[in-house]
Amino acid sequence: MGLVTLRREPLLHSDRLTSNQDHKERKAVSLCTRRLIDISTLSRTVKKMTRKIKFLLITSNFLLQFFAIDQSLALQMTYSDCMSDSTSRKLGGWCFFVYYNTSWGTNYPTAGLAETFCHPHANLAYGPTFNMLNYYNLTAHAQATAVWTSLARNASYGFDNASRSVSWQWRTLLPNGKYSTYPAILANIPWHAGDPFISPTSYNENNAMIWYNYGAGDCEANISASLSWYSGLKAGVLCQFAPPLWTYSKRGSGRFSNSSLIIEHVTNCPKLLCFSKCHNSVFCVSLAYSPSTKDCQTYGVSPEDPRMSPWAIADPLYEWHIRDGMVY
């Protein structure tokens, strides 16, 4: 905006105004002066805002470039690629793959970045069985010393010491940008002795990794090298690929008595829709379906898993259907 300048012309002696005219002129000049000040102030404000906008544009461009660089490191692998890889782990149709990029160096990626590095064809992994998670405890990776999982504390429980050991959940970011969650069963996780640690809240260990020859342990999201136990850490990302098609065999009758094991409970549900809900979930291992009532319950665990069988009850109204290819 251009600066508008108002100038009062000098009066000649022969053009002197009467006192009344002089008063009116002074009033007009005063008004013009105030407007000049207002316009000047507005001009300075606009200039300041312009500088701020330029700064924000530069900052935004930098951030976009930063995240574009990070996303260029995301895993470029499909389900078929994972299934054909000799280092991947196959379970129940799912394919699990440890992704590690040598350009990452140490103490990278953070938990937040790990959420996206499996996209666009996979998600940060859920641990459907103790056996599956313990595999990464017992099996050394060629480069990564620990792997990120989608295991994290549930913020709704709070992070005080009284709730830190019971507030865990599986929380994975899907390629569509939405989160999917499922309560974690601590007994189904190969925790290291003493983990999850009831630590001082200043540690903020609200995520979890699996270390080779150590097991699962809670950790800070940024795995900062300033803490000695993260020094030199080479972090991989455990990615989970879902099969386009899979089978779920009928295995007797029953359901789970523990409602916390339910992923989704749908009433008046057609049978094929119940199967579809299980197949489209990143957590579903089994389902119980009642043909008579059309009641559908999908679960993140299996009644055939010895760790889960105490909660499985006989119920002739429900059919068990279990994901094929599971190992417990």
pLDDT tens digits for 2-61?
332 223 333 333 333 334 444 444 444 454 445 444 545 545 654 555 555 444 433 344
Q: Where are the alpha helices (DSSP H) in 90-166?
A: 111-114, 130-138
Least confident of 53-57, 166-170, 272-276: 53-57
Residues in the chain: 328
Among the listed residues 273, 261, 300, the one whose alpha carbon sits nearest the alpha carbon of residue 284: 300
170-180 exposure pattern, b = at least 16 Cβ within 10 A, e = fewer: bbbbeeeeeeb
Q: Which pLDDT score is estimated for 300?
A: 97
Confidence of residue 68 (pLDDT cuts 50, 70, 90): very low
Report the C-alpha gap between 105 and 100 in whole angstroms. Answer: 10
Among the listed residues 101, 112, 109, 57, the one whose alpha carbon sits nearest the alpha carbon of residue 77: 101
DSSP-assigned letter for residue 104: G
Tell whether the model's pLDDT for residue 307 goes beyond 80.
yes
Report the C-alpha gap between 189 and 105 in whole angstroms. Answer: 28
109 cis-preceded (ω within 30 degrees of 0) = yes
Q: Where are the alpha helices (DSSP H) in the chain?
A: 19-71, 79-84, 111-114, 130-138, 271-279
Q: Structure pTM?
A: 0.76
Query: Bridge-partner residues for 195, per DSSP?
Result: none
**Residue 307, token pair as written in the block:** 């760790």
Cβ-in-10-Å burial (0-12, 13-18, 19+) of 237 comes to buried
Q: Which pLDDT score is estimated for 3?
A: 30
What is the share, in percent, of the chain residues with pLDDT greater than 70?
73
171-178: average pLDDT: 96
Beta carbons within 10 angstroms of residue 274's beta carbon? 24
Tell whether the model's pLDDT for residue 288 goes beyond 90.
yes
Kindly report the backbone phi and psi dihedral angles of residue 15, in degrees, each rounded to the nearest multiple of 5, phi listed first. -110, 25
Given a contact cutoff of 8 angstroms between Cβ atoms, the answer to whether 196 and 190 are in contact is: no
Report the C-alpha gap between 166 and 184 in whole angstroms. Answer: 9
Q: Which pLDDT score is estimated for 162?
A: 63
Kindly report the backbone phi and psi dihedral angles of residue 220, in degrees, each rounded to the nearest multiple of 5, phi listed first. -75, 150
77-91: average pLDDT: 96
Q: Which pLDDT score is estimated for 203?
A: 62
Confidence of residue 62 (pLDDT cuts 50, 70, 90): very low
Q: Which pLDDT score is estimated for 71?
A: 53
DSSP-assigned letter for residue 210: E
pLDDT tens digits for 213-260?
999 999 999 998 888 889 999 999 999 999 999 999 999 999 999 999
Given a contact cutoff of 8 angstroms between Cβ atoms, the answer to whether 253 and 288 are in contact is: no
Q: Which pLDDT score is estimated for 136?
A: 96
Least confident of 28-37, 102-111, 185-194, 232-241: 28-37
